[in-house]
Structure 1
């Protein structure tokens, strides 16, 4: 059974690839997983999320609906809901391009595909929760490294939405990436605007990182 541990040395991956090449390589790897492998990964992910101390007191958590081979957080969500956790889905901001808002996600909520084909709730100014009022944000990763650097899909939505965390760390939620463990890299090419993570939870481990935000 997986245990909560500090980061261990990462296996080497091709370090001569650009960010776009790494993104393509890792996406191919996760999309190659079978249904059974994805299901097993989701079960171990749920166990590790339930043990993650950053989530023990969290009651308002942003999450995502998996696609493109992303690790599936549904099992964790089902368990956490029974413990009183309210979840929120990212919604493309209709006024500020490139940013996200977060709307409540519950059984029966109507979802519509956004311009990327990803289901999301309809935007409602009255229902959205301010990003600083979230306790934690769980978002999918394409890759991550031993220092908490991350590789996303390339749109920069989370970086722009949580850029305030660099200037006002006390208002920032816990930023937690979710990934299959094979998505870990020795080192990633990091850009100045990349927002670092508090931790990454995979189907094998919980990796916690030293960063400027409060632990």
Structure 2
């Protein structure tokens, strides 16, 4: 079986090589599925992420949620608790900055922080996934820490992925947290 790092490297390369048309089609498909999922679960507080490194774009979904009057939140690297995420309200006027990983995130404003336990859905990025809904992230464990014991919390964790990111079986570690569902574009 391939190592986690080999899978990460291979899938990230495949994902980055998707054409603009493939990216657009995947975004449309995942946006439709996500809006249906949100409606099914009567979700009002939704955490998303801004795509990076070939991930499916979430911009259409974010725009649709804003139009529906839903609250959208983005992850921010926690300034005091290393390896953890905070979720901040995200609106068209939110001031953004680039974090340590080169990813855009809202500027930290304590008034915009929303407790993860009060989110309805957390849509997560991922590098690879398998049929058991295991996810392989970028390797920092940020989402694994956030999703720990999610069954006892209010939110539902859902991955967003391109079909090319599915593998037969991921090597799973004790800290890996399987998702509730994965929407595939």
The TM-score range, normalised by the shorter chain, is over 0.9
Whole-Å Cα distance in 2 between the matches of residues 78 and 124 of structure 1?
22
The alignment status of 1:148 with 2:133, answered yes or no, reads yes
Is the 1:89–1:120 Cα contact (8 Å) retained in structure 2?
Answer: yes
What is the aligned length? Answer: 185
For structure 1, list consecutive stretches of 5 or more residues without a partner in the other structure: 1-15, 204-215
Question: Does the aligned pair in 1 maintain the 2:147–2:157 contact within 8 Å?
Answer: no
Partner of 1:103: 88
Deviation at 1:83, TM superposition (A): 1.6
**Contact residue 143 and residue 151 of structure 1 kept, 8 A:** yes
Q: Secondary structure at the match of 1:123?
A: coil
Does residue 1:77 correspond to 2:59, yes or no? no
Structure 1: how far apart are the matches of 2:9 and 2:18?
Answer: 15
The range that moved more, 134-143 or 120-129, is 120-129
Match of 1:192 in 2: 174
Could you tell me the TM-score, scaled by structure 2's length? 0.95
Structure 2: 5+ residue stretches without partners: none
Report the counterpart of residue 40 of structure 1 in structure 2: 25
Q: Does 1:25 align with 2:7?
A: no
* SS of residue matched to 1:98: coil
| Aligned-residue offset at 1:118 | 0.6
User: Is 1:51 the counterpart of 2:36 in the alignment?
Assistant: yes
RMSD: 1.4
Structure with more helix by fraction: 2
Pick aligned residue for 1:113 from 81, 85, 98: 98
Q: 1:55 to 1:139 in 2, by over 3 A?
A: farther
Q: Does 1:64 align with 2:49?
A: yes
- Which residue is 1:125 aligned to? 110
In structure 2, distance between residues paired with 1:187 and 1:54: 31
Q: Give the match's secondary structure for 1:138.
A: strand
The answer to whether 1:183 aligns with 2:168 is: no
- State the alpha-carbon separation in 2 of the partners of residues 147 and 162 from structure 1: 16
Output the CA distance in 1 between the equivalents of 2:122 and 2:179: 10
1:53 Cα deviation (Å)?
6.0
Is the 1:49–1:55 Cα contact (8 Å) retained in structure 2? no
Corresponding residue of 1:213: none
Render the CA deviation track for 1:106-164: whole Å, top value 9, x for unaligned. Answer: 01111000111111111222220001000000111111111111110001001112224
